[in-house]
Structure 1
Amino acid sequence: MPTTGLPVVAVLAEREPPVVERLAGAARVLRVGERDLAGALAEADVLLVWDFLTSALPEAWPERGGPRWVHTASAGVDRLLFSPLRESDTLVTNSRGVFERPIAEYVAGLVLAMAKDLPGTLERQRSREWRHRVTESVAGTRAVVVGGGPVGRAVARLLGALGLRADLVSRTARDGDPEFGRVHGFGDLAGLLPAADWVVCAAPLTEQTADMFDAAAFARMKRGARFVNVGRGPLVVEDDLLDALRTGTLGGAALDVFRQEPLPADSPLWDAPGLLVSPHMSGDTRSWLDDLADVFLGNFERWVAGRPLLNIVDKELGYVPVAGRPGAAPRTEEGTP
């Protein structure tokens, strides 16, 4: 601890986020970029990873010691779970609670856009072509939502409100879920894909989920089905997705996350038939930066007071295990914006 008695909070951010000003008087804040991160970690009690797409943390992490608590301004924590941090006593928390509803709304918008052919309407408007068409109804179609945490549950809930029949797939199967009844395990996915009209991936990136959507998975899907990924880019084998779109195995797809971000200008995904590309924005609303600050500051108050932190990540599982309410499922998985 510094002589002032204030905890030292290192904030990894190239630009000053709103949280810095709000910490004034409660902490000694070291706002640093990637170049100065290693020096800040040597004296920090807390690290706030505001620039959550950074890859600088493993190299900068000290051989001994380090912050006692690391918080990321994201739901996904795969970039934080390098061996020294995973094996340390450092607590890791995430920003669960900020992204669930916005991502669900974004997915619902994508489903409606593909069903109603809004890309085709915009294309014909630009060419001043008046061409009447018929479109699809989403009510009564079936969706498989992969990822049983708060994001996946919010997606399945909102799709259900649109009249879709949503099957939820989580790490482990369980019955008696208060909302969805049966929650399927990953082992059930292969059997669910052939009946799905929509497949939405909102799973965390773990050793178990990496590359889970590959050529074999796309081949199992109903011809003409649509695929959406709002989880993590490495959940999808992108070359296999391209093949599925080019051959018509898939009727369309939407990707908000990619193996390489930003997506290179020469990537064939930009021109893939029937593919909607968005730049990792599904969870970002106009208030999201202030919302992220609120989550951290609420936890910081708990940390200073010696109270248990919220959103503690199980560093072995790779997500936040959430204790169930009476009658609820005992554990759910955290989704990943």
Structure 2
Amino acid sequence: MPVSAGQDSSTVTVLHGGDAPPGLSERVGGSRLRLAVSPEELADALPGSDVLLTWDFTSDAVRRVWSPELTTDLRWVHTASAGVDKVAFPELLASRVVLTNSRGVFDRPMAEFVLGAVLAFAKDTAGSLALQRDATWRHRETETVAGKIATVVGSGPIGHAIAHLLGAVGMTVRLVGRRATDGVHAFDELPGLLPDTDFLVLAAPLTDATRGMLHTGTIALLPERARVINVGRGPLVVQDDLVGALAAGRLAGAALDVFEVEPLPADSPLWTMENVLVSPHMSGDVVGWKDMLVELFADNLVRFREGAELRNVVDKERGYVSSTSGGIQ
């Protein structure tokens, strides 16, 4: 979708939460930068800005301060994340403002993270570390992953990258997307896929259709041997239902990188469950990831100033980058 500043420069406001994008000032040419940490600073910076970069993608400051008076000149919002749930609120979606995301930066790292979790479960890495701490020599048999069935919910670039790596170690992978396409099952087919699933991987965007998709009812369709891996968004899972199933032995384990509330509260039972791997929303964050995010935004900024097609334009009706806007669902 072409969108232009209509001039050689632009005014870019950056919501960064105290961790400013590295090297951004050197990458934006003659654009004017306004840095904002708090909602109050964002409200002061927005008037006259035609570009907003939400570097702090966990903040809801944009939603809190949004008003026609402050966003009269705003043409484009870019979020430094693959998910857009923090900025895809009704007022922005109904506006003329174009929304883009950082699709493509996290695909391979998140796929490697998922593969690592699969292998950690199969080879009982947590058990070996616990025995090592106690200086206990205990021979065990572990599982092979070859031939295991992984159902991956989310058929975008991240889901495809996950499927590629899991397939490379001999797993049978089934991709699930919004609709059925070549090699992809439709979302409404998911209940029929769960009974023989060994690993259920959630890598879908958070939409009205996917929110709370893993609950007591869907968990009941999974075999007790199944493990759940969530690298999508925390609210894809009804967390209390998952905790109850894990505690009751209804599921064999879970690797969770995202949660309903982040940071995960210290009193959450997930911290101390032996069959749970907890990580702090870091599955896509590898060495150099911030530089890659800046590179993507800087490239799009050049396109914006030239009136060229922007990368990763989010379909406002679907809530993600669709095949008709430069990406796949």
TM bin (shorter chain): over 0.9
Q: Which runs of structure 2 are paired with 1:1-337 in the superposition (5 Å)? A: 6-13=9-16, 14-23=18-27, 25-34=29-38, 35-64=40-69, 65-174=72-181, 177=182, 182-323=183-324, 332-333=328-329
Equivalent residue letter for 1:76: G
8 A contact 1:11–1:47 mirrored in 2:
yes
Q: CA deviation at 1:264?
A: 0.9
8 A contact 2:25–2:33 mirrored in 1:
no
8 A contact 2:15–2:35 mirrored in 1:
yes
Q: Give CA deviations for 1:101-139 in whole Å, capped at 9, x if unaligned.
A: 000000000000000000000010011101011100000
CA distance in 2, matches of 1:86, 1:26: 29
Q: CA deviation at 1:18?
A: 1.4
8 A contact 1:224–1:248 mirrored in 2:
no
8 A contact 1:169–1:183 mirrored in 2:
yes
CA distance in 1, matches of 2:244, 2:284: 28
8 A contact 2:56–2:80 mirrored in 1:
yes
CA distance in 2, matches of 1:25, 1:250: 53
8 A contact 1:41–1:62 mirrored in 2:
no
Q: Which runs of 5+ in 1 are unaligned?
A: 326-330
8 A contact 1:10–1:29 mirrored in 2:
yes
The share of aligned pairs that are identical, in percent, is 51
Query: For residues 310 and 5 of structure 1, do their structure 2 counterparts lie closer, same or farther at Cα, with a shift above 3 Å needed?
Result: closer
Query: For residues 219 and 252 of structure 1, do their structure 2 counterparts lie closer, same or farther at Cα, with a shift above 3 Å needed?
Result: same
**Alignment partner of 1:250: what SS?**
coil
Q: Give CA deviations for 1:39-88 in whole Å, capped at 9, x if unaligned.
A: 11112110000011101111211224251000000000011111110100
Comparing 15-24 and 36-45, the one that deviates more: 15-24
CA distance in 1, matches of 2:235, 2:150: 21
CA distance in 2, matches of 1:160, 1:172: 22
CA distance in 2, matches of 1:10, 1:263: 30
Q: Which runs of 5+ in 2 are unaligned?
A: none
**Alignment partner of 1:301: what SS?**
helix
Q: CA deviation at 1:249?
A: 1.2
* RMSD between aligned residues: 1.8
Q: CA deviation at 1:272?
A: 2.6
When normalised by structure 1's length, the TM-score is 0.92
Equivalent residue letter for 2:68: E
Query: For residues 310 and 190 of structure 1, do their structure 2 counterparts lie closer, same or farther at Cα, with a shift above 3 Å needed?
Result: same
8 A contact 2:8–2:305 mirrored in 1:
no
The structure whose RCO (Cα within 8 Å, separation 6+) is larger is 2
Displacement over 4 Å in runs of 4+: none
Equivalent residue letter for 1:100: D
Aligned length: 321
8 A contact 2:28–2:301 mirrored in 1:
no
Equivalent residue letter for 2:25: E
8 A contact 1:42–1:62 mirrored in 2:
no
CA distance in 2, matches of 1:279, 1:186: 28
Q: CA deviation at 1:324?
A: 10
Q: CA deviation at 1:5?
A: 6.1
Equivalent residue letter for 1:88: S
